[in-house]
Structure 1
Amino acid sequence: MKLDDTLGYLLNRTARRVHYRIDDFFKAHGLTVEQWIALKTISENAPLCQKELALHIDKSQNTIKPLLDRLMDKGLISRCPDERDKRNMILSLTEKGKRKIETLSPLEKEINRTMEETLTRKDIRDLRALLLKLEKGMMDW
């Protein structure tokens, strides 16, 4: 079987291309796509600790701290000790972080709309369902 015919390679190549296009957009607004994902996840799931964020966005503890350090340096998030467990740091958006979410969320929707233009509504539903099914299957390995 040729590499180009394998599902894993095709998914990876497509994901990379999507990632690069989205990353270019966010870089123009002072963020990487990983920083945006972390910021948006904090916004949607707060309160949560660093470990929970790492699980949400599929990052290791070793990579989550530098990512959060960069968001703190930009003034977009804050960390404070968890009152119930001082080992955990609770993440929250600063006012600047909330404004960034408000500004970029409509633009993110436009990016997704543009990406989906080549597909029908049924294609989008089917693709989403298939990707979720594949993701679940990968967890069962």
Structure 2
Amino acid sequence: MARKDTELYDTTIHIRDHCLCLHVQRAARALARRFDDAFRPHGITSGQFSLLNALNRAEPVSMGPVAALLAMDRSTLTANLKPLERDGLVRVEVDPEDRRSRKLSLTDAGRKVLRTTMAIWKREHAAIEKELQLDADALRAGLRAIA
């Protein structure tokens, strides 16, 4: 192997072993799969669980705050809302104060699914925190600082 190729390969190995972005992406995918499996019997994914939680409010909410909370743009939020709306878990209505805007809320069926899956989330989340070999609060703080 030529010297330049060896340096390139060595850097690749260093990135594989040290890249925070890679390790966070891999962990996020593994966590999502774990929660997807747990939520599957209830017809939702981990991402949909997060969205249902974001809509669990006393009053309907505009898309902006929900998109910001979930760190997604409005078009992605709209795409993620469609299956939940189709399944009767979420209501998307025209904002009476601004007809260009939409107000989002959970339906009774959405609250029921959320209530059921919250118990599953609590169980899975507690197990994951137990499996972590570090301070989960410090991890959350670090991730919030990056976000």
- Scaled by the length of structure 2, the TM-score of the pair is 0.81
Task: Indicate whether 1:9 and 2:22 are aligned.
Answer: yes
TM-aligned CA deviation for residue 50 of structure 1 = 2.2
Where does residue 142 of structure 2 map in the other structure?
A: 130
Identity %: 28
Instruction: For 2:144, give the aligned amino acid.
Output: L
Unaligned ranges ≥5, structure 2? 1-10
Taking a change above 3 Å as real, the CA distance of residues 81 and 36 of structure 1, as seen in their structure-2 partners, is: same
Give 1 or 2 for the bigger CA radius of gyration: 2
Aligned-residue CA RMSD (Å)? 1.8
Where does residue 23 of structure 1 map in the other structure?
A: 36
Taking a change above 3 Å as real, the CA distance of residues 44 and 4 of structure 1, as seen in their structure-2 partners, is: farther
SS of 2:131's equivalent? coil
Where does residue 33 of structure 1 map in the other structure?
A: 46
Taking a change above 3 Å as real, the CA distance of residues 133 and 51 of structure 1, as seen in their structure-2 partners, is: closer
Q: Give the 4+ runs in structure 1 shifted more than 2 A.
A: 44-47
Task: Indicate whether 1:81 and 2:90 are aligned.
Answer: no
Instruction: For 1:33, give the aligned amino acid.
Output: S
TM-aligned CA deviation for residue 89 of structure 1 = 0.9
**Cα deviation per residue 1:61-109 (whole Å; 9 max; x = unaligned)?**
2222221111011110112211221111111111111111111111111
SS of 1:86's equivalent? strand
The number of equivalent residue pairs is 134
TM-aligned CA deviation for residue 46 of structure 1 = 4.2
Where does residue 73 of structure 2 map in the other structure?
A: 60
Unaligned ranges ≥5, structure 1? 136-141
- Scaled by the length of structure 1, the TM-score of the pair is 0.84
Where does residue 113 of structure 2 map in the other structure?
A: 100
Q: Distance in 2 between matches of 1:62 and 1:130?
A: 28
Conserved? CA contact 2:129–2:136, under 8 Å: yes
Instruction: For 1:22, give the aligned amino acid.
Output: F
